Amino acid sequence: MIAATSARTASLRDFVALVKPRITMLVVFTTAGGLWLAPVRAGARTTVFTLLGTVLIVAAANVLNMYLERDSDALMTRTMRRPLPAGRMDPQVALRFGLVLAAISVPLLTFAVGAVPGLLASLALVSYVLLYTPLKRHTAAALLVGAIPGAIPPLIGWTAAQGRIELGGVLLFAVMFLWQVPHFLAITLFRKEDYARAGLVVQPNEPGGEAEARRNIVRYTVALVFVSLLFVPLRLGGTLYLFTALLAGGGFLACGLAGLRKGAGAKWARSEFSASLVYLTVLFGTLMLGR
């Protein structure tokens, strides 16, 4: 009876919340980057179906993730008001919604765009929902597993235009993979109590893990800045991009290094999180502008 009531009270806003629109838009931005940067310019039809398919596959992954994590979400301050833990929606409704999105998106990308983008989207969906989501309860290494599906969208865009995986697309994948580590570690540093309460394993809550998480932010940022410069010899980035990547990368690295100080706390971690978003936007924006 309660489930039926929850299903009836779910609003359009609740369905929108399930797909995590802000995250979905960020992913679409990186997919568009892959489309735009590919040597062969994709046609209007390919572009529309690629972006639409990406929206649907990311939405499916987010909905199914929320379905599987509804119990832990109820224990976290930032997630307890979501539709499922708040009881505004029947979990079975969310499950069916996620499965329908997946059933539409994979064939759409496969048959309207290409086999390679469809395969990459399937890999991203399966690894995010069936590997990353359950692993979060067992090991902090789940972050690296989750970074794989998070890095695939620009590669989907590249292969949609090119029809195959090439070095330029792999570099975009590498940038996204490396970027996610400092981005997510910053979140875990200022929300570590929330994660502990929910039973999700993150590095800052392990013995000596907070200091190691701060060091990992610096390590992965150094690797990220180095990889970002490789677009220049590939002629995907010009002089403007080179200076921007050096300047933005230097600023992002300086922010990460600030976290190694003894006095750095939650305020710094929030700044690192914000800096990661600014860095990615500036880097991709400059790459696309130069193209």
Q: Do 275 and 180 share a structural domain?
A: yes
Which tokens go with 133? Answer: 């989501």
Each residue of 115-145: pLDDT tens digit?
Answer: 999 999 999 999 999 999 999 999 999 999 9
pLDDT band at 10 (very low <50, low <70, confident <90, very high): low
Q: What is the pLDDT of residues 15-38, one digit of tens each?
A: 999 999 988 998 899 999 999 999
pLDDT of residue 12: 86
169, 158 in Cβ contact below 8 A? yes
Which ranges in 152-208 belong to alpha helices (H)? 153-162, 167-190, 192-198
Write down which residue in 163, 178, 193 finishes a domain.
Answer: 163
Domain count, the chain: 2
- Residues contacting 117, CB < 8 A, separation 6+: 50, 53, 109, 110, 156, 159, 160
Are 18 and 157 found together in one domain?
yes
Q: Cα–Cα distances in Å, from 91 out to 127, 148, 210?
A: 21, 27, 35
* Radius of gyration over every alpha carbon of the chain, rounded to an integer in angstroms: 19
CA distance 125 to 72: 21
Q: Which of 130, 163, 196 is the last residue of a domain?
A: 163
Q: Which domain holds residue 135?
A: 1-163
Residues 218, 140 share a domain: no
CA distances from 164 to 117, 156, 159, 161, 168 (A): 9, 10, 5, 8, 11
**Chain segment 36-58, per-residue pLDDT in tens:** 999 998 999 999 999 999 999 99
Residue 83's domain is classified under what CATH number? 1.10.357.140
Do 24 and 156 sit in the same domain of this protein? Answer: yes
Q: Which of 109, 139, 163 is the last residue of a domain?
A: 163
